[in-house]
Structure 1
Amino acid sequence: MNSQEVAVYREIQRNTEMAMKAIDTISDKVYDERLALQISRQSVKYSELHNEASKQLIAAKAESYRGNHLADIMLKTGIHYNTLLNTSTEHIAELMIKGSNNGILEMSKVLKHNAEAGEKPVALAKQLIDFEEKSIGVLKDYL
């Protein structure tokens, strides 16, 4: 496994880990049962993608992504701040859409900067991007 493939897998790990932590933080503030179910499904899919990236890195004996405690605190603080006065279904969906858009942007940048990555990591990254795009489409129904 080359360094560009490792970079793509690590970004998949980082991206999905951040998404799962965001969902975990925001789920207590969701009062719409359909939206709660939707974001739970998203969390499961993020977990599957994260596990696949981890499995590939472990098989190649490459170092996995290690989360940053400060980034976790900033993520959770940002979510709590953005939901302090508004926990409406529409607002929660909007926050989730913004997070997914950011995830797509970051994953796309990593793919562009690692053009020599092999077929397998690129396919998994594109699977993540496709999933986030579909999730955005579903979340738009809650706006």
Structure 2
Amino acid sequence: MSGDVELLNYIYQNSEMGQRTLTQLLGIVKDDVFKRNLESQLNEYREIFDISDSKLKEVNKEAKGIGVLTKVSTYVSINLNTLTDKAPSHISELLIRGSTMGIVDITRNLKRYDDMDKEIVDLGKRLLKFEQRNIEELKKFL
């Protein structure tokens, strides 16, 4: 059970970070086509987040969200990285880097917890495929 909870918490934190990042970027982005792409990604992160949250509640566990330091440093990093360049190509590059880190982490976690509850593993695989799709979609804006 603890492996299930650890994997769910990872999925929860990853999707929480995705939501925070995209919500912040949506306030910066001006290009309508790019904005629609980010909104679509945000919706998928919300779905994955909600599912992971529900599954944690099913097993009477409270989700461990991302820490305050991580939230603050990410917020500052986004502001600094978009201060002088708000172009879709630049923001896409930043998001591709983030999704690549997410792919590495979820792949590592899926291997580590491969014998866990099938529904939880499937949610992790959904997150992995989603991150891979994000990269392909974002490449169009480079």
TM-score of the superposed pair, with normalisation by structure 1: 0.94
User: Secondary structure of 1:99's match?
Assistant: helix
Letter in 2 for 1:13: Y
Runs of 4+ in 1 over 4 A off after TM superposition: none
CA contact (8 A) 2:16 2:65 kept: no
Letter in 2 for 1:51: D
Letter in 2 for 1:43: L
Report the equivalent of 1:118.
117
User: Secondary structure of 2:27's match?
Assistant: helix
CA contact (8 A) 2:106 2:128 kept: yes
Gaps of 5+ in 2: none
User: Secondary structure of 2:65's match?
Assistant: coil
CA contact (8 A) 1:35 1:89 kept: yes
Report the equivalent of 1:44.
43
Task: Please provide the CA RMSD for this pair.
Answer: 1.1
Query: 2: distance between equivalents of 1:91 and 1:29?
Result: 12
Q: Give identity over the alignment, percent.
A: 27
Query: 2: distance between equivalents of 1:122 and 1:56?
Result: 12
User: Secondary structure of 1:29's match?
Assistant: coil
The one of the two structures with greater contact order (alpha-carbon pairs below 8 A, sep at least 6) is 1
User: Secondary structure of 2:18's match?
Assistant: helix
